[in-house]
Structure 1
Amino acid sequence: MSVEYATTTEAAFLLNISTGRLRTLLNQNRVRGARKIKRLWQIPLNKRGMPEIAPGRRGPEGTWNKNQRTGNTFIHVLRKTIDYNRDNGTSHPAVAVKVGEKKNYCHALKINGPCQIVYQPHQPNRSQAGGARLWIEVEPQHIVERVYFSDGDYGPPPEVVEQRAKSKKSKNTRKQQKHSDKYRTYAKEEVIQHL
């Protein structure tokens, strides 16, 4: 039985983590059976076709994929971020890549394989694409490599930060309202009327 090997880019794609995170795991000797030949890493794949990562000693459990992906990859271009970058002279990532439940942001993409561009003006994709009407769909077996500008701004784009702040604010107001309803004092007349 021969063992299949993957490069760092392929292994990072399979695990659904960035190549930088995989290189950190490689340098910590946490990728089982990986070896460096000259300048390239050879990462063995297990019988499920996945690299094996040893768990860390402290901290939360890793969030990489344990099995091969089955769902499609969805790619969105964030129009509001493009406008924000143009108006403010910034370079926040304007491409969102959704694989399963994980969403990453980047400046460019390399899609190694076929993909399709989907436009549905009257039926937005709320289940996977968050209500988008235009997106790019890539089947799970094809590698989608994220690229970042060296001088770019990192982290989520401003429109995403804004959305998160709104949802956090609405969550807090609902919590406060629920809390105030729970400890509300009633007048004697209201209680008697209610009974």
Structure 2
Amino acid sequence: MYISVTQLAEKLKVSTSRVRFILGEGRIVGAFKVGNVWIIPVNNNGKIQVISGKRGPKLSWCKSRLKAQAKIHVNGQKIKQNRETGNNTPVITVKRGKTNEYCHQVDIKGPCKLIYKPSNPLKSGAQVWIETNSEIELICVGVKNSS
């Protein structure tokens, strides 16, 4: 597999001109030029073999930061309000970090854990919730407000 100069610059979190400079010095193993375009080979692990320079900082692959754990629960008070007023306000709460998002449906794209802790509820008072580090898709249906 091969990648471009721009893709390598994004992976290394450096400028494209810095990548071209390293390529010009011949420090990326197996890289070659076709016309005006550099072709950079990638090994099976998705890494590029870079020969260390004599001076300066070492090149490093930037590690992606872990997303905050999401906690998903159903707000029983909102269900009661919707029943009494006839509204369709979202009742599912997704808490990730310091943000709260409300929706009608949640699609979890990976593993999750369902937790019931009546002796140690969340700050919101929820005793049952889902925890996940996976990607989450929030789906909101058209909201009917009678105000």
Give TM-score scaled by structure 1 length: 0.41
Q: Deviations over 1:100-140 (max 9, x none)?
A: 001111111111111111001112233xxx3321111012x
User: Where does residue 75 of structure 1 map in the other structure?
Assistant: 72
User: Where does residue 125 of structure 2 map in the other structure?
Assistant: 131
Secondary structure at 2:95's aligned position in 1? Answer: strand
Q: Map residues 148-167 of structure 1 onto 2, 5 A cutoff.
A: 148-149=140-141, 151-153=142-144
User: Which runs of at least 4 in structure 1 moved beyond 4 Å after TM superposition?
Assistant: 46-49
Q: Map residues 94-113 of structure 1 onto 2, 5 A cutoff.
A: 94-113=91-110
- Matched to 1:125, the amino acid is L
- How far apart are the structure 2 equivalents of 1:80 and 1:125? 15
Could you say which structure has the larger radius of gyration? 2
Measured after TM superposition, the shift of residue 148 of structure 1 is 0.6
- How far apart are the structure 2 equivalents of 1:112 and 1:75? 14
User: Where does residue 119 of structure 1 map in the other structure?
Assistant: 116
User: Where does residue 169 of structure 1 map in the other structure?
Assistant: none
Identity within the alignment, %:
30
- Matched to 2:132, the amino acid is V
Does 1:147 pair with 2:139?
yes
Give TM-score scaled by structure 2 length: 0.53
- Matched to 2:107, the amino acid is K
Secondary structure at 2:119's aligned position in 1? Answer: coil
Q: Map residues 1-195 of structure 1 onto 2, 5 A cutoff.
A: 2=3, 3=7, 47-49=62-64, 68-126=65-123, 130-139=124-133, 142-149=134-141, 151-153=142-144
User: Where does residue 40 of structure 2 map in the other structure?
Assistant: none
- How far apart are the structure 2 equivalents of 1:136 and 1:90? 25
- Matched to 1:114, the amino acid is P
- Matched to 1:113, the amino acid is G
Q: Deviations over 1:155-181 (max 9, x none)?
A: xxxxxxxxxxxxxxxxxxxxxxxxxxx
Structure holding more helix per residue:
1
| Structure 2: stretches of 5+ with no match in the other structure | 9-60
